[in-house]
Structure 1
Amino acid sequence: MQEQKIYGRREGAVGHVVFNNPAKLNAVSLDMWDSFVGVLDDYEKDPTIRCVVVSGAGGKAFVSGADISKFESERANAEAQARYETISRRGYEALYEFSKPTIARITGYCIGGGMNLAACCDLRYCNDGARFGVPAARLGLGYGFLRIERLSRIVGLPRAMEFLFTAKQYSAQEALDMGLVHGVAPADGLDAMVDGITSAIAQNAPLTIGLAKAAAREIAKPESQQDHARLEKLAQACFDSEDYKEGRRAFMEKRKPAFQGR
């Protein structure tokens, strides 16, 4: 039986999506993108999933980018590249538009497409051996607007230009200093760091968190395209929810609230 290159697993209220191609440092091919979207879609529809962690198998890489060994078959010319771009963009957009919090758990190399993937997540945590880079200029690849824009929004345009112009790799500490990641842990402490974040998210009110994420996505748009009315409806839904009642009762009773997402 062929090993799954993308698989999902759940731990309580946390859904995990794992890029499982360690022999190629979790490089991504077209079929992997299709599987990735399928796992996310399942988590999106599951109300018991409160957040999602994206990671790479093997410990040596988060995602090292596209599978260059398949460039001749999947990206040999502009037409083939357009098809690849359509499919890979669907994967990135599925992650970026996912309605629940997403966390990139980064070990080892986070390169090229891995950087794009991490930038589509809401939060990013890495081990102290992680390496970050965008080697497009060494391969002659064209980087699209959204990829540059999302990286720029996280680290600032000058730093994003340095990534793209030099194609150099950056250390975990450098990534922390520039705001690319939210935290760095020793290899044996990364799971505990990520588990602490997912545990906090899972215990909090899903409607409130959903509103916060929706607002973040609207803020990223040009002001003329921001849907403030939608955000007001989401805020009103929080105040009309059973979770709001539960939050008030729990506060008065000095206990932890048990939110249901309704």
Structure 2
Amino acid sequence: MSDHLLVERHGAIATVVLNKPASHNAISIDMYRDLPGLVAGLDADPGVKVVVLRGAGQKSFASGADISEFERERGNAEAARNYNEHVAAAERAIEGLSKPTIAMVHGYCIGGGAGLALACDIRYADERARFAITPAKLGLVYSLESTKRVVDLAGPSRATWILVSGQQIQARRAFELGLFDELYPVEELEPATYEFAELITTRAQFSVRMGKEMVRRIVAGQLADDEATTHIRNSSFDTDDYAEGVRSFLAKRPPSFQWS
């Protein structure tokens, strides 16, 4: 695995760190290549309930793809296609996690960094964060999948503005556009993010993951229940956590959910 990807564990919370602070955590091809396997391992680990994605330090989540590699890794059409496949696979891996994902955004969240953050379920950012999607400044075209994530959050006209301008958007405006979900002062971002992540670990995990699955289906265009979604909902009544939830409510005590 790339030396520039770190995994930290605190109880049921796993943190994936983009670890290239000298270059504002610019994402190398090796990092993109290794992210799917790393993420799959966390998804398969029953001890992990939430995944946080962050950059090293407080200056940057990620300043984008590592442009110093472009001439070597994207020097012709064939190489560029291969590169783009690794980027897409990394974003899909994060988006496809069965467990909730939170992007903790300090500072710059630019280009490829924005792509990874948008693939997460939730984005917590500090008040000095900057968001930008920059293909128009490099002569590139954003993928359909990545563009859809922007449209889903900001709407079509604002997504168009973001894409055609390539401008950096200040944190408050990015929050207003729906690109960030919560804003905090720089020093409060980390404790607030992990406080929320810890809260998720105390909830019934079948409910958490199936709730995420329902949202995923709606975003993908499903508008009515089918056999699969009806089965998911009805299955919750057969879980030990449902029984525990009812018992704890009646006893007026906090629940102790065991499913993972």
Q: When the two structures are superposed, what TM-score results if normalisation uses the length of structure 2? A: 0.96
1:209 match: secondary structure? helix
Conserved 8 A contact 2:2-2:30: no
| Cα distance in 2, alignment partners of residues 230 and 25 from structure 1 | 43
Shift of residue 200, structure 1, vs aligned partner: 1.4
Whichever residue aligns with residue 65 of structure 1, its letter is G
| Cα distance in 1, alignment partners of residues 50 and 227 from structure 2 | 25
Q: Is there any run of 5+ residues in structure 2 with no aligned partner, and where?
A: none
Matches within 5 A, 1:12-161: 12-161=11-160
> CA 1:210 to 1:3, structure 2 compared with 1: closer, same or farther past 3 Å?
closer
Q: Is there any run of 5+ residues in structure 1 with no aligned partner, and where?
A: none
Matched, 1:251 2:249: yes
| Cα distance in 1, alignment partners of residues 258 and 98 from structure 2 | 16
Shift of residue 3, structure 1, vs aligned partner: 8.2
Shift of residue 114, structure 1, vs aligned partner: 1.1
Whichever residue aligns with residue 257 of structure 2, its letter is F
> CA 1:237 to 1:223, structure 2 compared with 1: closer, same or farther past 3 Å?
closer
Output the aligned Cα RMSD: 1.6
Conserved 8 A contact 2:2-2:34: no
Shift of residue 56, structure 1, vs aligned partner: 0.3
Higher deviation after alignment, 30-39 or 249-258: 30-39
Identical pairs, percent: 37
Conserved 8 A contact 1:116-1:151: no
Whichever residue aligns with residue 18 of structure 1, its letter is V
| Cα distance in 1, alignment partners of residues 75 and 185 from structure 2 | 40
> CA 1:3 to 1:140, structure 2 compared with 1: closer, same or farther past 3 Å?
closer
Tell me which residue corresponds to 2:192. Answer: 193
Conserved 8 A contact 1:127-1:187: yes
Conserved 8 A contact 2:2-2:31: no
Q: When the two structures are superposed, what TM-score results if normalisation uses the length of structure 1? A: 0.95
**Superimposed CA distance per residue, residues 81-128 of structure 1 (whole angstroms, 9 cap, x where no aligned partner):** 110111111110000010011000000100011111111111101011
Whichever residue aligns with residue 57 of structure 1, its letter is A
Whichever residue aligns with residue 105 of structure 1, its letter is M
| Cα distance in 2, alignment partners of residues 158 and 137 from structure 1 | 16
1:125 match: secondary structure? strand
